[in-house]
Amino acid sequence: TPDLAVGYSYDRLGSYFDNYNSLTLGIAVPIFNRNQGNIQAAKAQINGAQAQFDQRQLVVRREVHEAYQVAQRQDELYQHTSRDTTPFATLIDNIEKSYTKHLISVVEYLDFYEAYKNNVLQLNGLRANRMRAFENLNLATGRTFYRAE
């Protein structure tokens, strides 16, 4: 589209005759410049934006894949681990009874209690790691695939 410009100027004593009044009309006709620079810049911006989009899409796919792999490993480890703590609770009760009857020493009692505590902590850590992996997968995908049990 042509750019039409209209203007007026007045000069009292600065021209070759006094009280100079003029009216200007102008139109920009793009004969030689066909805006090629801006067209090339726009194409470069489009290509750059597409490259950024493709790169971000690859990053998201990698994050989802990694989160899925970690969640799958943690769930498999959790499923193959015995989660029944009843034998350990029975064992620690019997150890406490033996200690109160003075059948075992303080060192033996503390050793059994430390083993029981470590076992419970490992089981709770395994549960926490599994849930953390599921939450990371939910975060990476933006959807809720797994809920807490």
* Euclidean distance between the first and the last CA atom of the chain, given in angstroms as a whole number: 66
- Number of structural domains (the chain) is 1
For the full predicted model, state whether its pTM sits above 0.75.
no
Residues paired with 38 in a beta bridge: none
Per-residue model confidence (pLDDT) at position 77: 92
- pLDDT of residue 104 exceeding 70: yes
* Angle in degrees, CA 76, 80, 83, rounded to 5: 115
Q: Is residue 12 in a domain?
A: yes
Pairwise CA distance, residues 143 & 149, whole Å? 17
Q: Is residue 66 in a domain?
A: yes
E-assigned strands of the chain?
Answer: 3-11, 20-28
Q: Sorting pLDDT into bands at 50, 70 and 90, what band is 2?
A: low
Select from 79, 73, 84, 92 the least CA-distant residue to 133.
73
Q: Is residue 149 in a domain?
A: no
Q: Sorting pLDDT into bands at 50, 70 and 90, what band is 56?
A: very high
Q: What is the mean pLDDT of residues 105-113?
A: 90
Q: What is the mean pLDDT of residues 75-86?
A: 85
Alpha-carbon dihedral sign for residues 37, 41, 46, 47: positive
- pLDDT of residue 5 exceeding 80: yes
Pairwise CA distance, residues 149 & 11, whole Å? 88
Range of the domain at 32: 3-141
Q: Is residue 126 in a domain?
A: yes
Per-residue model confidence (pLDDT) at position 1: 60
- pLDDT of residue 54 exceeding 90: yes
Pairwise CA distance, residues 18 & 57, whole Å? 71
- pLDDT of residue 148 exceeding 80: no
Q: Is residue 147 in a domain?
A: no
Pairwise CA distance, residues 18 & 10, whole Å? 10
Q: Is residue 104 in a domain?
A: yes
Q: Is residue 74 in a domain?
A: yes
Q: Is residue 38 in a domain?
A: yes
Q: Say which range, 45-54, 61-70, 86-95, has the weakest mean pLDDT.
A: 86-95
Find out whether 118 and 135 touch, Cβ atoms under 8 Å: no
Per-residue model confidence (pLDDT) at position 27: 85
Amino acid in position 136 = N
